[in-house]
Every structure is written in structure tokens, then in C-alpha cells.
Amino acid sequence: MFSRRVTRRRFLKIIFLAWGSLWFISKGKLIAQLKDNSYSLQDRGDNSKENLKFFDDGQIKLLEAICSQIVPTDEYPGAKEVDVANKIDKLVLNSEKLQQEYLLGLRLVDELSLVLFNKRFVELEFDEQFKICEDMYNLDKDNPLYVFFNLVRSHTFKIFYESDIVSRIFNVPKFGEIISDYYDQ
């Protein structure tokens, strides 16, 4: 029987391309634009310490490392380039519940990293970070690390696919614009 392992990056590409292909066709855009690496990233002005709203610099670096595991950078920008961690920082500012969940989760991730590798999560190699994220994803659904990882994953995907950078690179409207267009008809 033929079996092929699908990586998470390939899975994301397949889903995004399937969703976006309808827009490429309807707008008459060439699919070749996907291969164009000449996109320019906006100045990441939100990434300075004075612009952090809730997390401290160490927490934002840890969150950025986790988000980069969820949407890693390859030939296209990932969560780091879209500045997902800083946008999550602003998101949790107005929710005490989210603040508590993120603070607990970030602490637990670092503790797990110290137990498994004797290093903080941000000090680990990419593959070691991936192993921890994979372990968190495979935990029981009531485990706090599983709950935290899925919270970060959910926020990361939403912010990533709503970003101007992703919209420009793939020359498709933001997901929120598609939904609002659908309901406006």
C-alpha cells in the first residue's frame, strides 16, 4: 500500500492553496506568483521592547519560538516574519483569562524543555523544539500543555492567515474578507 508522510508545512500549503486557488482563478492571476520570492516584508516596528503590551522580552521570544514551530519559515515567510507573537501579546492584553493561560503555558513549556533537554526552549535546536511541540500536541486533551499548545496554534493560524504579508504574497484576500464578502451577498 502506498503511504506518504505529509509534513505540517505541506499540509498547510495544500489547505491554503486549495482555499486560495478559487480566488486565483476568479481574479485571473497566474499561479506562477506563488514561486516569486521577491516579496518585501514590512518593517517590523511592533517588535521593539517598548511596544510589548503584556509579555516581557523573554516571554515574547519563547512565544515566537513556539509560533515558529507552528508556521515555520521556508521559502515563504512564517509566523516570525508576520510578527504573530507580538500580535498575540496585544490580543491577551484585554483578557485576564488569556493572560493566565499564556503565562502558565509558557512556564510549563520552559519547564518541559529543561526536563527533557536541560535547556530553555529558546536555546534548543529547531528539531528539539519541534519534538516538544509534537509531544504537546499528542498529550491527553485535558493536559494543560495540550490546551496551551492548541490555544497558541489557533491564535497563530488566525493571525498568520489574516496578515497583510500572506495576503500580498499569495495575492488573495484575507480570510476575513472572504467571509464578509460571502455574507454581504
pLDDT of residue 148: 96
Counting Cβ atoms within 10 Å, is residue 104 exposed (0-12), middle (13-18) or buried (19+)?
middle
Is residue 67 within 8 Å of 84, Cβ to Cβ?
yes
Its pTM stands at 0.67
Burial class (CB in 10 A: 0-12, 13-18, 19+), 99: middle
Which of 139, 167, 136, 164 is closest to 23 using CA atoms?
Answer: 167
Using CA atoms, how far residue 167 sits from 22, 27, 170, in Å, is 14, 14, 6
Q: Distance between CA 88 and CA 91 in Å, rounded?
A: 5
pLDDT at 164: 73
Residues 176 and 136: their CA atoms lie apart, in Å, by 29
Q: What's the chain's average pLDDT?
A: 76
pLDDT along the chain (185 residues), means of 10: 57 55 40 35 41 87 96 89 93 92 95 94 96 93 94 92 70 55 50
